[in-house]
Amino acid sequence: MSVKSAVLGYPRVGVNRAQKKATEAYWAGKISEQELQTASQAVRKERWEAIKAAGVDIIPSGDFTLYDGLLDHSFNFNVVPERFTKQGLSPLDTYFAMGRGRQDRAKGIDVAANEMGKFFDSNYHIVKVDHAPTTEFKLVRNQWLEEYKEAKDLGIETRPVLFGPITYLALVRASRDAPADFQPLDLLDKLVPVYVEVLKSLKEAGAQSVQLDEPILVTDKAEAYGDLYKKVYAELAAAELPITLTTAYGRVGKSLDYLKDLPIASLHLDLNREPQQLDAALEALKPTGKGIELGLISGRNIWKNDLAASKKLAEKAVAALGADKVVVSTSSSLLHTPISLKVETKLTPEQVAWLAFADEKCEEVATLAAALNGEENEAFQKNTKDIAARREFETTSDSAVRDRVQAITPEMSKRKSDFSVRSKVQAEAIKLPKFPTTTIGSFPQTKEIRVARAKFGKGELTKEQYEKAMEDEIKSVVDIQERLDLDLLVHGEPERNDMVQYFGELLNGFIFTQLGWVQSYGSRYVRPPIVVSDISRPAPMTVRWSSYAQSVSKKPMKGMLTGPVTILNWSFPRADVSKEVQAKQLALALRDEVIDLANAGISAIQVDEPAIREGLPLRKEDWDAYLNWAVESFRLSTSGVEDKTQIHSHFCYSDFDDIFPHIQALDADVISIEASKADLKLLDTFKEFGYKNDIGPGVYDIHSPRVPSEQEIKDKLAAFVKVIPAERLVVNPDCGLKTRAWKETEESLTNLVNAAKWARENL
Cβ neighbours for 645, distance < 8 A, ≥ 6 positions apart: 426, 598, 602, 603, 604, 605
Range in 99-113, 162-176, 630-644 the model is least confident about? 99-113
Predicted confidence (pLDDT) per residue in 342-387, tens digit: 999 999 999 999 999 999 999 999 999 999 999 988 999 999 999 9
pLDDT at 654: 56
How far from the centroid of its chain's Cα atoms is residue 556's Cα? 32
Backbone angles phi, psi at 461, to 5 degrees: -125, 140
Q: pTM value?
A: 0.91
DSSP 265: S
Mean pLDDT (whole number) for 483-506: 94
How many angstroms separate the Cα of 535 from the Cα of each of 167, 459, 510, 532, 636? Answer: 38, 27, 8, 9, 15
Q: Of 195, 245, 255, give the one whose Cα is nearest residue 221.
A: 255
Hey, what amino acid is at 156? I
Cβ neighbours of 717 (radius 10 Å) = 21
Residue positions counted in the chain: 763
Fold of 422-762: TIM Barrel (3.20.20)
Radius of gyration of the chain (CA): 26
Mean pLDDT over each residue of the chain, to the nearest integer: 94
Is-contact 323 2, C-beta < 8 A? yes
Q: Choose which CATH entry (3.40.109.10, 3.20.20.210, 3.40.50.720, 3.30.1490.190) describes domain 6-272+295-313+330-394.
A: 3.20.20.210
Hey, what amino acid is at 236? L
Higher-confidence residue: 51 or 177?
Answer: 51
476 is in an annotated binding site: no
Is-contact 58 29, C-beta < 8 A? no
Mean pLDDT (whole number) for 86-105: 95
pLDDT at 655: 64
Q: Which residue(s) pair with 739 in the sheet? A: none
Cβ neighbours for 490, distance < 8 A, ≥ 6 positions apart: 438, 439, 441, 442, 443, 477, 481, 549, 557, 558, 560
Cβ neighbours of 320 (radius 10 Å) = 17
Predicted confidence (pLDDT) per residue in 25-56, tens digit: 999 999 999 999 999 999 999 999 999 999 99
Sign of the dihedral through C-alpha 511, 514, 518, 524: positive
pLDDT at 641: 97
How many angstroms separate the Cα of 523 from the Cα of each of 100, 336, 739? Answer: 10, 14, 11
How far from the centroid of its chain's Cα atoms is residue 148's Cα? 28
671 pLDDT more than 60 = yes
- Which stretches does DSSP call E strand in 108-261? 109-111, 115-118, 125-128, 130-131, 158-163, 173-174, 210-213, 243-246
19-33, 653-667, 703-717 — which one is most confidently predicted on average?
19-33
pLDDT at 681: 66
678 pLDDT more than 70 = no
Same fold, 6-272+295-313+330-394 and 422-762: yes
Backbone angles phi, psi at 313, to 5 degrees: -65, -45
* Gap between the Cα atoms of 452 and 467, Å rounded: 10
pLDDT at 173: 94
Cβ neighbours of 82 (radius 10 Å) = 7
- Which stretches does DSSP call E strand in 41-171? 59-61, 102-104, 109-111, 115-118, 125-128, 130-131, 158-163
Predicted confidence (pLDDT) per residue in 280-311, tens digit: 999 999 999 999 999 999 999 999 999 999 99
Q: Of 164, 127, 161, give the one whose Cα is nearest residue 147.
A: 161
DSSP H helical ranges for 570-709: 579-599, 623-638, 660-665, 681-689
pLDDT at 604: 98
pLDDT at 517: 96
pLDDT at 703: 80
735 is in an annotated binding site: yes
* Gap between the Cα atoms of 647 and 746, Å rounded: 26
pLDDT at 139: 98
570 is in an annotated binding site: yes
Mean pLDDT (whole number) for 412-437: 96
679 pLDDT more than 60 = no
Mean pLDDT (whole number) for 6-28: 96
20 is in an annotated binding site: yes
Is-contact 294 273, C-beta < 8 A? no
- The DSSP result for 392-417, as a single string, is HHHT---HHHHHHHHT--GGGGS-SS
Indicate the pLDDT class of residue 454, thresholds 50, 70 and 90: confident
- The DSSP result for 423-435, as a single string, is HHHHHHHH-PPSS
pLDDT at 676: 65
* Gap between the Cα atoms of 245 and 222, Å rounded: 14
Range in 126-140, 322-336, 372-386, 649-663 the model is least confident about? 649-663
pLDDT > 70: percent of the chain = 98
Q: Of 666, 670, 671, 762, give the one whose Cα is nearest residue 713.
A: 762
Sign of the dihedral through C-alpha 429, 699, 752, 475: positive
Is-contact 645 600, C-beta < 8 A? no
How many angstroms separate the Cα of 265 from the Cα of each of 168, 328, 574, 610, 667? Answer: 21, 15, 36, 40, 51
Cβ neighbours for 397, distance < 8 A, ≥ 6 positions apart: 533, 534
123 is in an annotated binding site: yes
362 is in an annotated binding site: no
Cβ neighbours for 447, distance < 8 A, ≥ 6 positions apart: none
Backbone angles phi, psi at 113, to 5 degrees: -70, 165
Among 73, 268, 662, 703, the active-site one is 703
703 part of the active site = yes
* Gap between the Cα atoms of 660 and 645, Å rounded: 24
Mean pLDDT (whole number) for 207-232: 97
Mean pLDDT (whole number) for 742-754: 97
Cβ neighbours for 375, distance < 8 A, ≥ 6 positions apart: none
Higher-confidence residue: 690 or 7?
Answer: 7
655 is in an annotated binding site: no
Cα angle, residue 575 at apex, residues 569 and 579 outer, rounded to 5°:
45
DSSP 263: S
Q: Of 567, 551, 550, give the one whose Cα is nearest residue 559.
A: 550
Q: Where are the domains of the chain?
A: 6-272+295-313+330-394, 422-762
DSSP 477: H
pLDDT at 574: 95
